[in-house]
Structure 1
Amino acid sequence: MKFSCLLVTAAAALVSTSLTASSNELKSRVLLVPGLASSRLSASIKTDGAAWCRTHGNHFALVWISLRRIFCSHYLKLVFNPITKTYTNRPGVTVKVPGFGKTNTVECVGSFILCTLLRSLNLMDQMVKFFVRQGYQRGADIRAAPYDWRLAPDSLRAQGYYAKLKGLIETMYNGKKVTIATHSLGSLTTLYFLNSVVTSEWKNKYVKAFVPMGAPWGGAVQTLSGFLYGYIPASNQRIIPRFIMNYSRCIIRTLQSAYFLAPRPDVFGSQVLVRTPTKNYTAQNYQQLYQDIHYPIGWQKHQAALGVIKGYPNPGVPTFCIYGTNVPTPEQLVYNKSGDLLNAIPKIIHGNGDGSVNKESLEICHRWAKKVTVINKVNHSDIVRSSQVMHEILRIATADTIQ
């Protein structure tokens, strides 16, 4: 009796293994490309300054984002060369992105303690766990390609990111094309890769689908909040100490990606983005805005960033665009006094979008997407936690033919 039970158990195990193997052979593997500030950044800091920030030997310490080093973030500031239009790290600082090809650093962007305390840092953990429950394996069937989100897509080429990304996709290819699921800035980074790095022949062989989620194709008004007063996500900006917001603004103004994600003139046109009693600022007169906030070099950075992706080119692969809507989204910043541009927190007028990205920017993908899924009242961060979105990506990845 025991022997027959063992035979049945063994047979069941063999059948189960066979079915799992068969399933794994049929499905498209999934690659995740996270959004703005959603990759960890570690740094080697060999400069004068606070002792708790400095590192020793070949050690790289987690800076983004670590509770212990939260006020070492200024070492992540970039240095802009106005002649070459390129960015470098601060002298004495080397920054790297840990976890390329793995999922753990995008499942939890911060240190263990922070991820335990703040759900917002666990942006992609639910998605990874969802695919694991479907039989996907971390590091094989589902992987991630974190990157240095301080930079716009063109600067990642010099870092070797796209060569690594291309190699990772080729490694993941198992006779079945790879599904690339991206969020926010990661969608524009991937768009640049698909249009400026790889050939049509390569895309036809290796990429099954491109699934951008909450992509700020034409920029976002919320980006201007960072330049002007050091926006930090919170229900009430006025409860945050002024020195923290100044610290944030000081860092944000050095980031290439911030200029790249500013509202683009060809999308926002003459719409007033910043209003004062004496002047209105649109996406067509940024130069005046930078002069009035006493940061003229910002205009040079802005001009350089505008040319990174020209127009909104078709990715050249089946694209399934997903975004949220009907969430109050910053549309205009209103200052009561002209001098308030330098320090005050403006009144925010809201319009339609996903809470972070404006509707007119999100919907640009209608131009070439095979399918667009618009989800009512799901915000920019929660789009990657949406059960509906996860099932849509699974459907795309497992379908014999995608529609």
Structure 2
Amino acid sequence: MEARQQRIIATLLLLTATLFVTAAPAVAHLHPVILLPGYSCSQFDARLTDEYEPPTPACGVRKQGPGWFRLWENYTELQEDPTLLPCYQDQLRLVYDHTAGDYRNVPGVETRVVSFGTTRSFRFDDPVQKNVCMARLVEALEGVGYKEGSNLFGAPYDFRYAPAAPGVAARAFAGFREMNGNKPVIIVTHSFGGDYAMEFLNQSPLPWRRRYVKHFVMLCGSTGGSPVIMQAVASTMGSPPPPTTLRGSVLSLGNRSFEIIPFFLPSPKVFGDTPLVITRAKNYSAENMPEFLATVGFSDEEIARYRTRALPLTLNFRAPLVPMTCISGIGVPTIYRLVYWDGNFTDKPQVVNGDGDGVINVENAMALERAVGGDPAQPYFKSVLMPNTTHNGMISDDSTLRAVVNEILKANQATF
């Protein structure tokens, strides 16, 4: 993936500096908002070159022309021609370049993020996605005076990639570090978008972030991972049946080629040595994750990449040192432990639930509050727990949206 396609926040800051001065007087008091959506909520295009080797002849048909086509997510085309599914799945894969020490597209596949700088990338032709991504939050912000392209912007990104530890090659993430802009902005994220934004801030110079970031609003932050991901990676043992939908192949997180998969695994900083996967012979926690990964079929090389790329970040999430509000859902049964009593990880496990938003555990919110709110250098931190609020409900339920928008308006008015 080319770095110019991933100038997520940095380019938008330059964009807001240029465009905000033209905003209508009625909304001139509003600081620009940049939205980063959650996992799978950014669309991107692809084109194939002669270097691409399709798994079947049908998958190479697009090589007849040089044009771009929608790779993620082309709901309409797949509805019309389901036989294209294996092609899309193959073209979504990543490969690890040992020479560069970084992840790349499959040879012969070029990609670009759709509608960079706008929120149009969050609006899918699949009607189900309206309540999963940020479309309804966009509408709610427009209802209080925000306007697309004037003071409301989107930062779509290729969600297959992940931030990497400092000093580790990560070309897809490097574009975050090219910075500019004049008007302080409010960064609003959902789910994994928050992890991406927080790491961007932490790897940016402190004087810059304090000058150009008015507030950071994190919704349902997934910092620290989730035990449910252990079920997803375990389910890829052996030869499981292939997913029947493109969304299923991605949302199952069973695609081990994605750089993001290890980043989602539970962090020892959040879950410690608490057993998360239980078998008759052995229990597995966040602290002995490498052993679990070996048990479910990860290679030594894959485990080494987990240790060097993902683990340092999940162990070291920290205060971004800009004003921050963290809003989390609670009161919804959320997977906390998985029981594979006979040690057969291809079976469906027994589930022990804890508290959370149905996806992210309440432990994540508490750990973030301790790490961020407990830092004396953090200028402002507020944690809001929303009872009976699901992960997707945070950005789709009317009552919750009103509360979220209210926090964004408060951030506009704050003087810290």
Which TM class, normalised by the smaller chain length?
0.7 to 0.9
Pick one of 308, 333, 338 that aligns with 2:338.
Answer: 333
Measured against aligned partners, the alpha-carbon deviations of 1:81-109 in whole angstroms (never above 9, x if no partner) come to 46764211112222221111010111x2x
Q: TM-score scaled to structure 1, two decimals?
A: 0.81
Q: Does the Cα contact within 8 Å between 1:148 and 1:156 map onto a contact in 2?
A: no
Aligned to 1:347: 350
Q: Does the Cα contact within 8 Å between 1:214 and 1:383 map onto a contact in 2?
A: yes
Aligned to 1:306: 311
What is the correspondence of 1:97-116 to structure 2 with a 5 Å cutoff? Answer: 97-106=113-122, 108=123, 110=124, 112=125, 114=126, 116=127
Structure 2: which amino acid aligns with 1:188? D
Identity %: 27
The alignment status of 1:323 with 2:328, answered yes or no, reads yes
Aligned to 2:111: 95
Aligned to 1:269: 272
Aligned to 1:243: 242
Measured against aligned partners, the alpha-carbon deviations of 1:70-128 in whole angstroms (never above 9, x if no partner) come to 4412321221246764211112222221111010111x2x4x2x2x2x24565211111
Pick one of 149, 158, 166 that aligns with 2:159.
Answer: 149
What is the correspondence of 1:2-401 to structure 2 with a 5 Å cutoff? Answer: 21-45=24-48, 46-50=52-56, 53-54=59-60, 55-56=62-63, 57-67=65-75, 68=78, 69-71=84-86, 72-81=88-97, 85-106=101-122, 108=123, 110=124, 112=125, 114=126, 116=127, 118-119=128-129, 123-154=133-164, 157-158=171-172, 160-163=174-177, 166-167=179-180, 170=181, 173-174=182-183, 177-196=184-203, 198-229=204-235, 242-244=241-243, 252-296=255-299, 297-304=301-308, 305-308=310-313, 310-338=315-343, 340-341=344-345, 343-367=346-370, 368-369=372-373, 370-385=381-396, 386-401=400-415
- Residues 156, 299 of structure 1: CA spacing in aligned structure 2 closer, same or farther, 3 A cutoff? closer
Structure 1: which amino acid aligns with 2:319? N
Q: Does the Cα contact within 8 Å between 1:79 and 1:87 map onto a contact in 2?
A: yes
1:309 positional shift: 5.6
Q: Does the Cα contact within 8 Å between 1:256 and 1:301 map onto a contact in 2?
A: no
- Residues 121, 97 of structure 1: CA spacing in aligned structure 2 closer, same or farther, 3 A cutoff? farther
1:328 positional shift: 0.8
1:376 positional shift: 0.5
Equivalents in 2 of 1:213, 1:247: separation in Å? 25
Moved more, 385-394 or 263-272: 385-394
1:159 positional shift: 5.4
Aligned to 2:13: none
Structure 2: which amino acid aligns with 1:199? P
Equivalents in 2 of 1:216, 1:159: separation in Å? 18
Measured against aligned partners, the alpha-carbon deviations of 1:271-290 in whole angstroms (never above 9, x if no partner) come to 11111221211112222222
Equivalents in 2 of 1:396, 1:53: separation in Å? 51
Q: Does the Cα contact within 8 Å between 1:329 and 1:354 map onto a contact in 2?
A: yes
1:247 positional shift: 5.5
Runs of 4 or more consecutive aligned structure 1 residues displaced over 6 Å after TM superposition? none
Equivalents in 2 of 1:226, 1:190: separation in Å? 25
Number of paired residues?
A: 358
Equivalents in 1 of 2:201, 2:95: separation in Å? 28
Structure 2 residue matching 1:286: 3-state secondary structure: helix
Q: Does the Cα contact within 8 Å between 1:215 and 1:323 map onto a contact in 2?
A: yes
Q: TM-score scaled to structure 2, two decimals?
A: 0.78
Work out which of the two has the higher radius of gyration on C-alpha atoms and give 1 or 2.
Answer: 1
Unaligned runs of 5+ in 2: 1-22, 79-83, 374-380
Equivalents in 2 of 1:300, 1:283: separation in Å? 16
Moved more, 302-311 or 276-285: 302-311
Q: Does the Cα contact within 8 Å between 2:34 and 2:187 map onto a contact in 1?
A: yes
- Residues 160, 85 of structure 1: CA spacing in aligned structure 2 closer, same or farther, 3 A cutoff? closer
Measured against aligned partners, the alpha-carbon deviations of 1:172-215 in whole angstroms (never above 9, x if no partner) come to x44xx21100111111111111111x222212221110001111
Measured against aligned partners, the alpha-carbon deviations of 1:1-55 in whole angstroms (never above 9, x if no partner) come to xxxxxxxxxxxxxxxxxxx833322111111011111111322233323455443
Moved more, 69-78 or 35-44: 69-78
1:294 positional shift: 2.4
- Residues 247, 21 of structure 1: CA spacing in aligned structure 2 closer, same or farther, 3 A cutoff? closer
Q: Does the Cα contact within 8 Å between 1:130 and 1:390 map onto a contact in 2?
A: no
Equivalents in 1 of 2:289, 2:139: separation in Å? 43
